[in-house]
Structure 1
Amino acid sequence: MRWAEIANHNGDPLEFPTEPINAKKLQSLKKTDDWQIIDTPPGSAAEIQAAIDTADLVIVPTHPSPLDIDRVWPTLDTLTHKNAAVLLIGVHERRRLYQETRDVFEDQGIQTFASFVPEREDIKATFGTNPHELYTFDEICEEILGIEEMF
Protein backbone atom coordinates (compact mmCIF):
# COMPACT_ATOMS: atom_id res chain seq x y z
CA MET A 1 0.00 0.00 0.00
CA ARG A 2 2.78 2.41 0.86
CA TRP A 3 4.22 2.03 -2.64
CA ALA A 4 0.87 2.96 -4.21
CA GLU A 5 0.36 5.88 -1.82
CA ILE A 6 3.72 7.42 -2.69
CA ALA A 7 3.24 6.86 -6.43
CA ASN A 8 -0.19 8.48 -6.24
CA HIS A 9 1.15 11.42 -4.22
CA ASN A 10 3.91 11.95 -6.80
CA GLY A 11 1.44 11.99 -9.71
CA ASP A 12 2.62 8.62 -11.04
CA PRO A 13 -0.20 6.28 -9.93
CA LEU A 14 -0.17 2.55 -10.45
CA GLU A 15 -2.37 1.24 -13.26
CA PHE A 16 -4.28 -1.17 -11.02
CA PRO A 17 -6.17 -0.84 -7.75
CA THR A 18 -4.57 -1.69 -4.42
CA GLU A 19 -6.22 -2.11 -1.06
CA PRO A 20 -5.08 -3.06 2.42
CA ILE A 21 -6.27 -6.41 3.67
CA ASN A 22 -5.97 -8.20 6.98
CA ALA A 23 -6.03 -11.89 7.89
CA LYS A 24 -9.76 -11.94 8.63
CA LYS A 25 -10.64 -10.40 5.26
CA LEU A 26 -8.22 -12.75 3.47
CA GLN A 27 -9.92 -15.75 5.05
CA SER A 28 -13.28 -14.60 3.72
CA LEU A 29 -12.17 -13.96 0.12
CA LYS A 30 -14.31 -15.75 -2.42
CA LYS A 31 -12.73 -17.77 -5.23
CA THR A 32 -12.83 -15.94 -8.55
CA ASP A 33 -11.31 -16.30 -12.00
CA ASP A 34 -9.65 -12.92 -11.54
CA TRP A 35 -6.05 -12.46 -10.52
CA GLN A 36 -5.48 -11.24 -6.99
CA ILE A 37 -1.90 -10.63 -5.95
CA ILE A 38 -1.27 -10.57 -2.22
CA ASP A 39 2.07 -9.11 -1.14
CA THR A 40 2.57 -9.75 2.57
CA PRO A 41 4.78 -7.74 4.88
CA PRO A 42 7.59 -9.66 6.55
CA GLY A 43 6.92 -10.74 10.11
CA SER A 44 3.12 -10.48 9.99
CA ALA A 45 2.40 -14.15 10.72
CA ALA A 46 -1.41 -14.00 10.67
CA GLU A 47 -1.55 -12.19 7.32
CA ILE A 48 1.14 -14.41 5.81
CA GLN A 49 -0.67 -17.61 6.85
CA ALA A 50 -4.04 -16.29 5.64
CA ALA A 51 -2.46 -15.35 2.29
CA ILE A 52 -0.93 -18.82 1.98
CA ASP A 53 -4.23 -20.50 2.81
CA THR A 54 -6.04 -18.36 0.21
CA ALA A 55 -3.46 -18.69 -2.57
CA ASP A 56 -3.53 -20.91 -5.63
CA LEU A 57 0.20 -20.25 -6.09
CA VAL A 58 2.69 -19.11 -3.45
CA ILE A 59 5.81 -17.36 -4.74
CA VAL A 60 8.75 -17.48 -2.33
CA PRO A 61 11.30 -14.79 -3.19
CA THR A 62 14.89 -15.27 -2.06
CA HIS A 63 18.37 -14.01 -2.80
CA PRO A 64 20.99 -16.52 -3.97
CA SER A 65 22.93 -16.48 -0.70
CA PRO A 66 23.44 -19.10 2.01
CA LEU A 67 21.69 -16.98 4.67
CA ASP A 68 18.60 -16.45 2.52
CA ILE A 69 18.50 -20.04 1.31
CA ASP A 70 18.64 -21.24 4.91
CA ARG A 71 15.49 -19.22 5.59
CA VAL A 72 13.68 -20.67 2.56
CA TRP A 73 13.59 -24.25 3.86
CA PRO A 74 11.26 -23.64 6.83
CA THR A 75 9.01 -21.57 4.57
CA LEU A 76 8.82 -24.34 1.98
CA ASP A 77 8.12 -26.88 4.75
CA THR A 78 4.92 -24.98 5.57
CA LEU A 79 3.83 -25.02 1.92
CA THR A 80 3.70 -28.75 1.22
CA HIS A 81 -0.08 -28.48 0.74
CA LYS A 82 0.24 -25.63 -1.80
CA ASN A 83 1.58 -25.00 -5.28
CA ALA A 84 4.75 -23.05 -4.57
CA ALA A 85 7.78 -21.87 -6.51
CA VAL A 86 10.95 -20.04 -5.54
CA LEU A 87 11.74 -16.78 -7.33
CA LEU A 88 15.39 -15.75 -7.20
CA ILE A 89 15.82 -12.02 -6.66
CA GLY A 90 18.85 -9.74 -6.54
CA VAL A 91 20.65 -12.02 -8.99
CA HIS A 92 24.08 -11.48 -10.53
CA GLU A 93 23.71 -14.05 -13.28
CA ARG A 94 27.42 -14.72 -13.79
CA ARG A 95 28.24 -15.21 -10.13
CA ARG A 96 28.93 -18.60 -8.61
CA LEU A 97 26.30 -18.31 -5.86
CA TYR A 98 23.53 -17.91 -8.41
CA GLN A 99 24.35 -21.20 -10.14
CA GLU A 100 25.00 -22.98 -6.85
CA THR A 101 21.60 -21.83 -5.58
CA ARG A 102 19.88 -23.10 -8.72
CA ASP A 103 21.69 -26.42 -8.33
CA VAL A 104 20.63 -26.78 -4.68
CA PHE A 105 16.97 -26.19 -5.49
CA GLU A 106 17.11 -28.50 -8.51
CA ASP A 107 18.82 -31.25 -6.47
CA GLN A 108 16.06 -30.96 -3.85
CA GLY A 109 13.26 -30.98 -6.44
CA ILE A 110 12.14 -27.45 -5.56
CA GLN A 111 10.18 -25.72 -8.31
CA THR A 112 12.09 -22.56 -9.21
CA PHE A 113 11.24 -19.91 -11.77
CA ALA A 114 13.53 -20.01 -14.81
CA SER A 115 13.39 -16.20 -14.83
CA PHE A 116 14.83 -14.13 -12.00
CA VAL A 117 14.97 -10.55 -10.79
CA PRO A 118 18.41 -9.12 -11.53
CA GLU A 119 20.34 -7.05 -9.01
CA ARG A 120 19.85 -3.54 -10.39
CA GLU A 121 19.92 -0.16 -8.69
CA ASP A 122 17.21 0.95 -11.13
CA ILE A 123 14.85 -1.73 -9.79
CA LYS A 124 15.49 -0.69 -6.19
CA ALA A 125 14.82 2.95 -7.12
CA THR A 126 11.33 2.20 -8.51
CA PHE A 127 9.75 2.22 -5.04
CA GLY A 128 6.91 4.72 -4.99
CA THR A 129 6.66 4.94 -8.78
CA ASN A 130 4.70 3.30 -11.57
CA PRO A 131 7.60 1.38 -13.14
CA HIS A 132 7.81 1.60 -16.90
CA GLU A 133 10.90 -0.58 -17.38
CA LEU A 134 9.89 -4.19 -16.64
CA TYR A 135 13.33 -5.85 -16.82
CA THR A 136 12.50 -9.56 -16.34
CA PHE A 137 9.11 -9.08 -14.70
CA ASP A 138 7.26 -9.69 -17.99
CA GLU A 139 9.05 -13.05 -18.30
CA ILE A 140 8.13 -13.89 -14.70
CA CYS A 141 4.50 -13.04 -15.46
CA GLU A 142 4.55 -15.38 -18.47
CA GLU A 143 5.86 -18.17 -16.24
CA ILE A 144 3.11 -17.52 -13.70
CA LEU A 145 0.50 -17.71 -16.45
CA GLY A 146 2.02 -21.01 -17.57
CA ILE A 147 1.96 -22.41 -14.05
CA GLU A 148 -1.62 -21.26 -13.58
CA GLU A 149 -2.67 -23.23 -16.67
CA MET A 150 -1.49 -26.42 -14.94
CA PHE A 151 -4.09 -26.09 -12.16
Structure 2
Amino acid sequence: MKIALLNSKGGCGKTTSAMFLAQVAAHRGHRAEVWDSDPQASASRWAEAADLAFEVVPANIATLRKPAGDKYVFIDTPPGNPQIITAAAEAADLVVIPTMASMADMDRTWATIDALSGIGPVAVMVTSAETATRAYRGLVETLEAAEIPVLPPIRKRSTFREAWGQAPTHLWGYTAVLTTIEEALSA
Protein backbone atom coordinates (compact mmCIF):
# COMPACT_ATOMS: atom_id res chain seq x y z
CA MET A 1 0.00 0.00 0.00
CA LYS A 2 1.37 3.41 -0.99
CA ILE A 3 -0.01 6.59 0.52
CA ALA A 4 1.29 9.91 -0.83
CA LEU A 5 1.07 12.87 1.53
CA LEU A 6 1.10 15.96 -0.57
CA ASN A 7 -0.01 19.55 -0.78
CA SER A 8 1.48 22.37 -2.81
CA LYS A 9 1.64 24.38 0.44
CA GLY A 10 4.41 23.89 2.97
CA GLY A 11 3.93 23.60 6.72
CA CYS A 12 0.65 21.70 6.56
CA GLY A 13 1.87 18.51 8.27
CA LYS A 14 3.05 16.24 5.45
CA THR A 15 6.25 15.03 7.11
CA THR A 16 4.74 14.75 10.58
CA SER A 17 1.78 12.82 9.18
CA ALA A 18 4.01 10.45 7.19
CA MET A 19 6.09 9.70 10.29
CA PHE A 20 3.11 9.21 12.59
CA LEU A 21 1.21 7.03 10.10
CA ALA A 22 4.30 4.85 9.59
CA GLN A 23 4.55 4.49 13.36
CA VAL A 24 0.90 3.39 13.56
CA ALA A 25 1.47 0.82 10.80
CA ALA A 26 4.61 -0.49 12.55
CA HIS A 27 2.73 -0.72 15.87
CA ARG A 28 0.15 -2.86 14.10
CA GLY A 29 2.86 -5.26 12.97
CA HIS A 30 3.12 -4.11 9.37
CA ARG A 31 6.38 -3.43 7.58
CA ALA A 32 6.41 0.32 7.08
CA GLU A 33 8.62 2.83 5.29
CA VAL A 34 8.59 6.54 4.71
CA TRP A 35 9.88 7.48 1.27
CA ASP A 36 11.38 10.94 1.60
CA SER A 37 11.06 12.70 -1.77
CA ASP A 38 11.44 16.18 -0.29
CA PRO A 39 14.84 17.74 -1.18
CA GLN A 40 14.85 19.31 2.31
CA ALA A 41 15.02 15.71 3.62
CA SER A 42 13.07 16.49 6.79
CA ALA A 43 11.92 12.89 7.25
CA SER A 44 15.45 11.57 6.69
CA ARG A 45 16.91 14.03 9.18
CA TRP A 46 14.17 13.11 11.68
CA ALA A 47 15.10 9.44 11.26
CA GLU A 48 18.80 10.14 11.85
CA ALA A 49 17.90 11.60 15.26
CA ALA A 50 15.42 8.92 16.35
CA ASP A 51 15.20 5.18 16.95
CA LEU A 52 12.21 4.41 14.74
CA ALA A 53 10.20 1.23 14.23
CA PHE A 54 10.30 1.80 10.46
CA GLU A 55 12.76 2.89 7.80
CA VAL A 56 13.01 6.26 6.09
CA VAL A 57 14.56 6.07 2.63
CA PRO A 58 15.35 8.78 0.08
CA ALA A 59 13.09 8.76 -2.97
CA ASN A 60 12.98 10.47 -6.33
CA ILE A 61 10.72 10.41 -9.37
CA ALA A 62 12.18 7.10 -10.58
CA THR A 63 12.10 5.30 -7.23
CA LEU A 64 8.54 6.43 -6.50
CA ARG A 65 7.43 4.02 -9.22
CA LYS A 66 8.88 0.99 -7.37
CA PRO A 67 6.21 -1.37 -6.02
CA ALA A 68 5.56 -1.24 -2.29
CA GLY A 69 5.47 -5.02 -2.00
CA ASP A 70 4.07 -6.09 1.35
CA LYS A 71 4.97 -2.78 3.01
CA TYR A 72 2.98 0.23 4.02
CA VAL A 73 4.75 3.09 2.24
CA PHE A 74 4.11 6.71 3.14
CA ILE A 75 5.53 9.17 0.62
CA ASP A 76 6.61 12.53 2.04
CA THR A 77 6.63 15.17 -0.69
CA PRO A 78 7.94 18.72 -1.09
CA PRO A 79 5.49 21.61 -1.34
CA GLY A 80 6.72 23.30 -4.50
CA ASN A 81 7.81 20.61 -6.93
CA PRO A 82 4.96 19.71 -9.32
CA GLN A 83 6.98 16.92 -10.99
CA ILE A 84 7.54 15.05 -7.71
CA ILE A 85 3.99 15.77 -6.51
CA THR A 86 2.54 14.34 -9.73
CA ALA A 87 4.87 11.31 -9.68
CA ALA A 88 3.95 10.56 -6.05
CA ALA A 89 0.24 10.91 -6.80
CA GLU A 90 0.49 8.62 -9.83
CA ALA A 91 2.40 6.00 -7.82
CA ALA A 92 0.05 6.04 -4.82
CA ASP A 93 -2.96 3.93 -3.99
CA LEU A 94 -4.34 6.98 -2.18
CA VAL A 95 -3.34 10.63 -1.99
CA VAL A 96 -3.80 12.27 1.40
CA ILE A 97 -3.76 16.05 1.38
CA PRO A 98 -2.96 17.43 4.82
CA THR A 99 -4.28 20.96 5.35
CA MET A 100 -5.18 23.38 8.08
CA ALA A 101 -8.56 25.09 8.30
CA SER A 102 -7.39 28.50 7.11
CA MET A 103 -8.09 30.37 3.91
CA ALA A 104 -4.39 30.36 2.88
CA ASP A 105 -4.10 26.60 3.42
CA MET A 106 -7.34 25.83 1.67
CA ASP A 107 -6.42 27.99 -1.31
CA ARG A 108 -3.41 25.72 -1.93
CA THR A 109 -5.41 22.59 -1.05
CA TRP A 110 -8.02 23.36 -3.73
CA ALA A 111 -5.22 24.05 -6.23
CA THR A 112 -3.67 20.68 -5.30
CA ILE A 113 -7.00 18.88 -5.68
CA ASP A 114 -7.55 20.52 -9.08
CA ALA A 115 -4.04 19.60 -10.24
CA LEU A 116 -4.66 15.95 -9.31
CA SER A 117 -7.94 15.69 -11.17
CA GLY A 118 -8.18 12.24 -12.71
CA ILE A 119 -4.94 10.90 -11.20
CA GLY A 120 -6.39 8.75 -8.43
CA PRO A 121 -8.32 8.69 -5.19
CA VAL A 122 -7.81 11.71 -2.94
CA ALA A 123 -8.77 12.40 0.68
CA VAL A 124 -8.21 15.48 2.81
CA MET A 125 -6.93 15.35 6.39
CA VAL A 126 -7.26 18.47 8.53
CA THR A 127 -4.20 18.92 10.73
CA SER A 128 -3.97 21.28 13.70
CA ALA A 129 -7.74 20.93 13.74
CA GLU A 130 -9.80 22.95 16.16
CA THR A 131 -12.97 20.99 15.60
CA ALA A 132 -15.27 23.32 17.54
CA THR A 133 -14.55 26.28 15.26
CA ARG A 134 -16.68 27.56 12.39
CA ALA A 135 -13.63 27.47 10.13
CA TYR A 136 -13.19 23.73 10.67
CA ARG A 137 -16.89 22.90 10.34
CA GLY A 138 -17.19 25.07 7.23
CA LEU A 139 -14.17 23.42 5.64
CA VAL A 140 -15.53 19.92 6.26
CA GLU A 141 -18.97 20.87 4.94
CA THR A 142 -17.43 22.39 1.79
CA LEU A 143 -15.26 19.33 1.14
CA GLU A 144 -18.16 16.95 1.71
CA ALA A 145 -20.40 19.02 -0.61
CA ALA A 146 -17.68 18.65 -3.27
CA GLU A 147 -17.68 14.88 -2.58
CA ILE A 148 -14.08 14.90 -1.40
CA PRO A 149 -13.51 12.34 1.37
CA VAL A 150 -12.42 13.82 4.70
CA LEU A 151 -10.28 11.72 7.03
CA PRO A 152 -10.56 11.96 10.83
CA PRO A 153 -9.04 15.23 12.04
CA ILE A 154 -5.68 15.57 13.72
CA ARG A 155 -6.34 17.96 16.58
CA LYS A 156 -4.05 20.86 17.32
CA ARG A 157 -1.41 19.87 19.88
CA SER A 158 1.85 21.49 20.87
CA THR A 159 3.40 18.02 21.12
CA PHE A 160 3.58 17.82 17.32
CA ARG A 161 6.05 20.70 17.26
CA GLU A 162 8.13 18.80 19.83
CA ALA A 163 7.94 15.39 18.08
CA TRP A 164 10.67 15.96 15.49
CA GLY A 165 13.68 13.71 16.05
CA GLN A 166 11.79 11.29 18.31
CA ALA A 167 9.91 8.07 17.76
CA PRO A 168 6.21 8.91 18.05
CA THR A 169 4.78 7.41 21.24
CA HIS A 170 1.39 9.09 21.49
CA LEU A 171 -0.30 8.71 18.12
CA TRP A 172 -2.87 11.50 18.62
CA GLY A 173 -5.55 10.57 16.11
CA TYR A 174 -3.34 8.97 13.48
CA THR A 175 -4.60 5.50 14.49
CA ALA A 176 -8.12 6.50 13.37
CA VAL A 177 -6.72 7.99 10.16
CA LEU A 178 -4.88 4.78 9.21
CA THR A 179 -7.94 2.68 10.07
CA THR A 180 -10.07 4.84 7.78
CA ILE A 181 -7.48 4.57 4.99
CA GLU A 182 -7.30 0.77 5.33
CA GLU A 183 -11.09 0.49 5.25
CA ALA A 184 -11.33 2.73 2.17
CA LEU A 185 -8.65 0.82 0.26
CA SER A 186 -10.06 -2.60 1.12
CA ALA A 187 -13.62 -1.68 0.03
TM tier relative to shorter chain:
0.7 to 0.9
Task: Give 1:41 deviation, angstroms.
Answer: 1.7
Shift of the 116–30 alpha-carbon distance from structure 1 to 2, 3 Å rule, reads same
Structure 2 counterparts to residues 51-66 of structure 1, below 5 A: 51-66=88-103
Match of 1:40 in 2: 77
- Cα pair 2:129 2:156 within 8 Å, conserved: yes
List per-residue Cα deviations over 1:63-92 (Å, max 9, x = no partner): 111221121112112223201100011111
User: What's 2:45 paired with?
Assistant: 5
| TM-score (norm. length: structure 1) | 0.88
Aligned residue for 2:74, secondary structure, equals coil
- Residue 160 of structure 2 aligns to a residue whose secondary structure is helix
Alignment root-mean-square deviation, CA: 1.7
> Any residues of structure 2 matched to 1:10-89 within 5 Å, and which?
12-27=50-65, 29-30=66-67, 32-81=69-118, 82-89=120-127
TM normalised by structure 2 equals 0.72
Gaps of 5+ in 1: none
User: Would you identify which runs of 4 or more consecutive aligned residues in structure 1 move more than 2 Å?
Assistant: 1-9, 30-34, 78-81
Larger radius of gyration: 1
Task: Give the Cα–Cα distance (whole angstroms) in 1 for the partners of residues 179 and 121 of structure 2.
Answer: 17
Q: CA deviation at 1:30?
A: 2.8
Percent sequence identity over matched residues? 28
**Unaligned 5+ residue runs, structure 2?**
1-40
